[in-house]
Amino acid sequence: MSPAQKLAGLVLLILVLMATASGVTWQVQDWRMGKKLAEQSGLHKDDLAAITNAAADQARDETDKRLALEQQLAAQDQQHTKELSDAQRNQARLRDQLATADVRLSVLLDPTDTAGGCNVPSTPGAVGVVHAARRAQLDPAHAQRIIGITDAGDQGLIALRACQAYVKEVSTPK
């Protein structure tokens, strides 16, 4: 064997050893990276599962809060509807009593008023005396109008209370 062949064989042997070492190193790195990637993938799956569970819990909590708020608002609406119907029923009863003359509305007269032409008798009869105050009865038609005005006022106050309760309930952080 000539020295050139020995040199060529040695170079070939070195090249084969280098290629084998590279292949083995490549395979070891592949195993290590595969293991590392699998580990990271598992951690990523765990993180995603934890995030998903937290989001589901938060959504469930928000749904529970919304349902509780809806139930409270429904109960308040029912209460305000009952108040409104009671007020309307009382106003209707009072209007009926005024129409049948079961009840008469009267007003207190100012004892210091010296208005001329006021023909209000000072003796009891159609005029009642309450704690020595003079009163005059109102015409039933005027009494009906006054009751209508107070009815509208009562309805407005009940609606206002309902709106205030709604806004308070909705805007209160829980």
- Range 115-121 average pLDDT: 54
pLDDT for 113: 65
Residue 105 has pLDDT above 80, yes or no: no
The predicted pLDDT at position 173 comes to 78
Q: Given a cut of 90, is residue 62 above it in pLDDT?
A: yes
Average of pLDDT values for 146-158?
86
Q: E strand or H helix at 160, and its extent?
A: helix 140-171
Give residue 122's pLDDT: 53
CB 106 within 8 A of CB 128: yes
- Please give the average per-residue pLDDT across 29-41, as a whole number: 91
**Measured between alpha carbons, how far is 69 from 75 in angstroms, rounded to an integer?**
10
Q: Residue 106 forms beta bridges with which residues?
A: 137
Q: Which pLDDT value is given to residue 120?
A: 53
* pLDDT mean over 130-153: 78
For the chain, give the percent of residues with pLDDT over 90: 45
Closest CA to 113 of 136, 140, 141: 136
- Provide the residue count of the chain: 174
Residue 37: burial class (beta carbons within 10 Å; 0-12, 13-18, 19+) = exposed
Among the ranges given (68-72, 86-90, 112-116), the one the predictor scored with the smallest mean pLDDT: 112-116
With 0.85 as the threshold, say if the pTM is over it: no
Q: Which of 72-81, 89-98, 120-129, 162-171 has the lowest mean pLDDT?
A: 120-129
pLDDT band of residue 75 (cuts 50, 70, 90) is: very high
Q: Give domain limits for the chain.
A: 136-173
